[in-house]
Amino acid sequence: MLQRIRLLRYTLPFALVLVVIGYQLGIADAVRRVYGLQIHYGVEIAFYSLAGPLVTGMTLAWIERELRSKARLENALRSIREEERARIGRDLHDGVAQTLYLLALRTDALRAGEHIPAEMMEELRQMGRMLRGSIRDIRRTIFSLRPLAWPEGEFFETLCAFVQGYAEEMGWEAKCEQDAALQVPPTLEPVIFRIVQEALNNTAKHANAGKVKVKLYPRQDAQQVVVEVMDDGQGFDVSAPPRHGLGLTQMEQRVHAAGGTFSLRSRPGEGTHVHVKLPTQ
């Protein structure tokens, strides 16, 4: 799309110049010789008054058609991604999660048996803890893979319901705030939802938090949406080598793909603060 617009920008002015030169050397000169200067000037004025708007209108119509085509393609790709996420979530629930749950039950049954050596009992206890931790991780992943869907105009309510549901799953105290003046463009709603989702995933995996807060508000005359996700967890040293896997990287890449900026503040023992700015235009 960008390449086509750039090509049009470079070729259209030259094409218009050639049309004008051809008109002046051909039609205009012939009209002047046959009908005189008065008719010649009238035709010339009509030509110039129509050529510019006509070319501009054709160009804008082409751009509008391309933008609509791009929007349809993006919606189709979004639907495909959401369907794939839902399929992966179902597969995890019906496959890996069920298997781990059965293994956890099996370790409990073995621990309840008689004549189990103490060292084996401790091993079974650790295996049970590890299996249940893996089950919690998978349940959290399944929760995050749910398709994005909300009625028009109810994005913030859906986002807050997700935050509250996630917090209940993790045993957190959660708070969700939005500035009353904020108008989130529909194109940014899935981006914001996934950013919050990924931030909460990082909190669940690494922060050992008790409270989380999500806040949305406008900035710079409503030309930006600011998204903040804060927790009161253990924090970390942002200058140290990264140890949080792909979560922060994926979040930052998602923000940059939307033309926004990403920043992170954290210190050991002082929680973590994710700060994102997204352009509304």
Taking the chain, what is the end-to-end CA distance rounded to the nearest angstrom? 17
Task: Report the alpha-carbon distance of residue 224 to residue 246 in Å, rounded.
Answer: 26
Report all structural domains of the chain as residue ranges with CATH numbers, in order of start: 2-75 (no CATH), 152-281 (3.30.565.10)
pLDDT tens for the chain, 281 residues long, are 556 666 666 676 667 666 666 666 566 667 666 666 656 556 665 666 566 667 776 777 777 777 788 777 777 776 777 677 677 777 777 777 788 878 888 888 887 777 778 778 888 888 888 888 787 777 777 766 666 678 888 899 999 998 998 898 888 999 999 998 888 988 899 899 989 988 998 898 888 899 999 999 998 777 899 999 999 999 988 877 655 555 688 888 889 888 899 999 998 999 999 999 999 87
Identify whether the C-beta of residue 269 lies closer than 8 Å to the C-beta of residue 208.
no
Question: What is this structure's pTM?
Answer: 0.59
Instruction: Let me know: does 162 contact 199? Beta carbons within 8 Å.
Output: no
Buried b (16+ CB within 10 A) or exposed e, 187-214: ebbbbbbbbbbbbbbbbbebbebeebbb
- CA geometry: angle 59, 63, 66, nearest 5 deg: 140
Spatial separation of the C-alpha atoms in residues 132 and 109, rounded to whole Å:
15
Residues 6+ apart with CB under 8 A from 140: 166, 169, 170, 201, 204
